[in-house]
Amino acid sequence: MDFRYVRFYYEPSLQIDLDGTINEISQVFPNCIFEACGSFFEYRPDYQMTAERARISEIRQPFGHQSPGHQFFDLYGRSTALYDGFELQRLLAPAFPEESFIPIIFTDLLTCTFSEEDWRYHARALICGTPSVISTTGIVEAPAKPREFYLSILTQNVDSVKKKLSGRFIDYGDERMTKVAAGYVLQILFFFITNGDPFCEDISCRLHNAHWQEDLIRIQVENPAICTKHRLLANKFNHRLSTRESI
């Protein structure tokens, strides 16, 4: 699917430099128009309660079998609500009836998806579709931290373990979040360009679906690059946009 307009819903409390993120994306998609808007829930406060219907109360039950009630989960000392990412997307979709732009919502709500492979929910940083959702909490919690982290917290205080392994994973308020967010936005845009197949097998490409924090940092922060295949796809897309008056 071709598109020209991309709209970001963002709030400063998320601590991403959105201009920096847009600047990175513009280098790959120079013919697109990126628009920064405020918080989605400030723009549509009527959806605040709606979003709560995507809350999950049991990690090991799919969304259709959740028991009522809003539970919080302990994430290494942080009490956090979990949301079914696809259900959240489905509930928010009516706010975007027109298809003249790609809506991307940045949020600190922690999105999760249920896996039938191990029959449990897993945290996700990214939910692609309409709207697409980038969870800043998910950027911290979804890709796995170094193995040492999980071994060390069995016997040591979380804060001291985080300090010891500082730099090896993205943490809350981390300035590297801006570049990581740019990588997730690229995955969203390629999701639409490829009609639903954004991820890359090449472990050095920004479209690679990193499952580990150290891989995420390597491909999005330390050495951000796009493989030849995806570079060609972007070039073709940019050429199509430049030859059309309106999309």
Closest to 87 (Cα-Cα) out of 61, 120, 50, 59: 50
Least separation in angstroms between CB 232 and Zn ion: 10
Least separation in angstroms between CB 229 and Zn ion: 5
Closer to Zn ion by Cβ: residue 17 or 202: 202
Least separation in angstroms between CB 223 and Zn ion: 14
Closest to 141 (Cα-Cα) out of 88, 93, 78, 99: 78
Closer to Zn ion by Cβ: residue 92 or 207: 207
Closer to Zn ion by Cβ: residue 145 or 208: 208
Cβ within 8 Å of residue 134, ≥6 positions away:
104, 105, 106, 107, 125, 126, 181, 184, 185, 188
Closer to Zn ion by Cβ: residue 177 or 205: 205
The values of phi and psi at residue 151, to 5°, are -75, -45
Give residues in contact with Zn ion (CB under 5 A): 200, 202, 205, 207, 227, 230
Least separation in angstroms between CB 233 and Zn ion: 9
